[in-house]
Structure 1
Amino acid sequence: MSGAELAALLDHNGFDFYTGVPCSLVADLIAALECPRSAPWIPAVREDVALGLAAGAWLGGRRPVVVMQNSGLGTGLNALASLSLMYGLPALLIVTWRGFRGQDAPEHLLMGEISPKLLDLLGIPYRILRPESADELLAWAREEMDARETPVAILVPPGVVATGAGAGGGVDRTRSREASTDAARPDGAQPPPSSERAPRGPVTPPLAPAPVATMPGAADEELRPVISRREALAVAVKELGDEPVIHANGYVCRESFATEDRPQNFYMIGSMGLASAIGLGLALVRPARPCVVFDGDGNLLMSLGTLAMVGGLGPLSFLHLVFDNEVYGSTGGQRSPSREVRLDRLALSAGYRTATAATTPDEIAAALRSARLDPGPHFILVKVTTMETPAPRIPHTPRAIRDRFRQSLRVE
């Protein structure tokens, strides 16, 4: 079957958010998804990041699809176990079956053998795609994931979806990718024609002027923290209204909970590194409403590629705070690479509209007020001390966190 046929069947069965990491076995499907459409394709940097995007999209009311090669089951294993399955976040996994029947390059053979076993071990129901029953299969997948509130999977053996020179039905891939990216932009802004674009260099986010740093002091001045993360969180929470906040796991969410527990708080208690991906997924499906991410330096560094996705897609309502104490506090205070690397500069280079550094309560409050006035995405680096105060573990169950958060968004 062609990729366009499969894409049409997915749309017909109510799927309306597409992300993932490409595989040649579904090149024609991705080419179809890259064409201008109401539910654009969002290319992800990793499969676990794609699962985070899908989680945010589902929380925002969408029915997501995640495309991956079966090797991506390995990359996404922890995200599936401690995010998708633990919280009950439905998604359709379209998993290509490299190494099928032992016929493939050596690097695919073991994964080809164990892919069904991995899905069985995770308790994820799956079926094998066959063109003659594709519509029936997708209807089953939709009903199963909606009823179970967990991911379901479809394994795609070689040759089932068109590949090769004819992939995409003759679509100009450059144009289709540009159109898909433009459709994903929150304001729907259209870029200049290809002939007018610079061949290299970052794409400026929609409605945003050139990124600017608003860091205190000289550009190379060392940032000296003077308050703890708990104190910084208290300032940030006080500045918030009813914005949804995705919290990184560890002490970021525990101290925020101890400061003020809100239904609008989505607490990550697993899947380190995916808070920004979840926030991005939510921001993309709710472009007119603010979305805040409370992150940590270790969390951010674990999925650094998400910065490029945020910068490239340019969600206007995205506000990303990183509380950086330069250590892995939950595991004993081991040194973090952020001691040598300024994370705000990375965000600025990735395409965030602004990147601000703050070390005092007044600077944190001022940065938040400024960010809420102008279109983003915005990045605020909050340098904090390593001091930690006792904070309880989150008492809510994962599904209770999910349900009250979704209800706060008024999603049915």
Structure 2
Amino acid sequence: MITAQGMLDTLTDHGHALVTGVPCSYFAGPLRLLDRGVGPRYIPAVNEGSAIAIAAGAQLGAELPVVLAQNSGFGNMINPLTSLVLPYRVPMTVMVSMRGWPTASAGEPQHHWMGRTVPGWLDSLDVSHWMLTADGPSLSDLLGRARPVLDDGQPAFILVAKGAIADDAPAPEAPSDARPTRDEVVTALLAEVGDAHVLSTTGYLSRSLFNHGDRARNFYMQGSMGHVSGIALGAALARPESRFVVLDGDGAVLMHMGVMATVGANAPSNLTHVVFDNGVYDSTGGQRTGCSHTDFASAAIACGYRDARTVETIDALRGALRSALAASGPIAIVVRGAAGGTAGERASNNLPVAEIGARFRDSLAVAAHQPGGRVPA
């Protein structure tokens, strides 16, 4: 096992001047240090494909980059990897955490497939890769093996097993913050949504929704980060007689922000999009998103939402929800919230994810046959 500081020192010793990527808890210790300015220059990316592009640009500018990502986002890398990195011969080191390897836990079935397929995919692309484990070859040794590959103009992947990198960097002191917490936002939302169907993004927001108000009309998304608003759009267009509320996070919205334009273009009148903006990825260790200047409400309006507003108190949130649910959407409500808070239990520790999907589907079928008609346009 290598320490968090040891990992950054090793990267620096091997000439890596820039780190970019999307957080994973396997890298929580090094990421805390990078956030504080320790080690190579750090650029948080909105998704794994963007991280590959940022790294490619850095390498073209004569800096040797490292990309950090988890294997659940490997699919986001495929296009820039095969369309940019390989044909243009842009070398870079990519460190990918192996969630679900060698087997996925019962509560995280979304990691089952990616936990076993990444090495085979890399083999099919003729991309060199090695495994970093707690008791295997050192990171320095693997970076040494990767050097001839980089010198040949090719990418090199280091697949990181759980526990290979210590989470030993001290967490920063939590700042005093009077903004709403995640649990307070979820509790307020549940008090206002009535019989609306609620879809929550992956991570702690889904855990909070499950623990504070589990019901068949809730869809808890695990994995597929950034796609919950797309799921809600499809459901809202398929079931115009029902109301839908999306409970999203700032990091998740950033990952696939273009879907907001699709929501605006299709203008579902029965959709309300709530974005909890606390500036960090809480479920992977509280790393900053790197997009503190992003104005999600203005972005929603620019994408064609009929209305959007930003709130900073629970009273303002409840009022905004009441107005939105009585009006024609799509409407965005951005909640400036506080980072941190307890995680709570995963829904999938109590319900198989297939059952979560099935009961949500059944609740929509029941709603379709209830009196009340369509949501006003």
Q: TM-score, normalised by structure 2?
A: 0.50
| Matches of 1:303 and 1:330, distance apart in 2 | 18
| Matches of 1:384 and 1:325, distance apart in 2 | 5
Q: Please give the secondary structure, in 1, of the residue aligned with 2:345.
A: coil
Match of 2:354 in 1: 399
Alignment of 1:261-300 (within 5 A): 261-300=214-253
Q: Please give the secondary structure, in 2, of the residue aligned with 1:387.
A: coil
Match of 1:383 in 2: 336
Asked whether the 8 Å contact 2:204–2:343 carries over to 1, the reply is no
Q: Please give the secondary structure, in 2, of the residue aligned with 1:238.
A: helix
| Matches of 1:362 and 1:319, distance apart in 2 | 18
Alignment of 1:256-335 (within 5 A): 256-335=209-288
1:28-84 CA-to-partner distances (Å, cap 9, x unmatched) read xxxxxxxxxxxxxxxxxxxx9xxxxxxxxxxxxxxxxxxxxxx99956xxxxx99xx
Alignment of 1:19-98 (within 5 A): 74=78
Against the structure 1 CA distance between its residues 324 and 73, is the aligned structure 2 distance closer, same or farther, given a 3 Å change threshold? Answer: closer
Match of 2:165 in 1: none
Does 2:359 correspond to 1:408? no
| Matches of 2:180 and 2:321, distance apart in 1 | 17
Alignment of 1:57-206 (within 5 A): 74=78
Match of 2:196 in 1: 243
2:299 to 333, 337, 346: 346
Asked whether the 8 Å contact 1:247–1:293 carries over to 2, the reply is yes
| Matched AA of 1:293 | V
Post-superposition shift, 1:241? 1.0
Q: Please give the secondary structure, in 1, of the residue aligned with 2:365.
A: coil
| Matches of 2:256 and 2:205, distance apart in 1 | 17
| Matched AA of 1:298 | G
Bigger Cα displacement from structure 2, 374-383 vs 332-341: 332-341
Does 2:308 correspond to 1:355? yes
Sequence identity (%): 39
Post-superposition shift, 1:225? 5.6
Asked whether the 8 Å contact 1:276–1:293 carries over to 2, the reply is yes
| Matches of 1:359 and 1:246, distance apart in 2 | 22
1:84-104 CA-to-partner distances (Å, cap 9, x unmatched) read xx68xxxxxxxxxxxxxxxxx
Which runs of structure 1 show a deviation greater than 6 angstroms over 4 or more consecutive aligned residues? Answer: none
| Matched AA of 2:317 | I
| Matched AA of 1:236 | L
Q: TM-score, normalised by structure 1?
A: 0.46
Asked whether the 8 Å contact 2:193–2:325 carries over to 1, the reply is no
Post-superposition shift, 1:288? 2.8
Alignment of 1:359-374 (within 5 A): 359-374=312-327
Match of 2:374 in 1: none
Post-superposition shift, 1:396? 1.1
Q: Please give the secondary structure, in 1, of the residue aligned with 2:300.
A: helix
Unaligned runs of 5+ in 2: 1-48, 50-74, 80-99, 111-120, 126-176, 369-377
Match of 1:253 in 2: 206
| Matches of 2:353 and 2:296, distance apart in 1 | 30
| Matches of 2:273 and 2:178, distance apart in 1 | 19
Asked whether the 8 Å contact 2:272–2:330 carries over to 1, the reply is yes
| Matches of 1:241 and 1:337, distance apart in 2 | 35
| Matches of 2:178 and 2:272, distance apart in 1 | 21
Post-superposition shift, 1:284? 1.1
CA RMSD of aligned residues (A): 2.9
1:349-370 CA-to-partner distances (Å, cap 9, x unmatched) read 1110111111111100100011
| Matched AA of 1:247 | S
Higher RCO (C-alpha under 8 Å, 6+ residues apart) = 1
Asked whether the 8 Å contact 2:286–2:340 carries over to 1, the reply is no
Post-superposition shift, 1:338? 3.7
Post-superposition shift, 1:303? 0.7
How many residue pairs match? The answer is 204
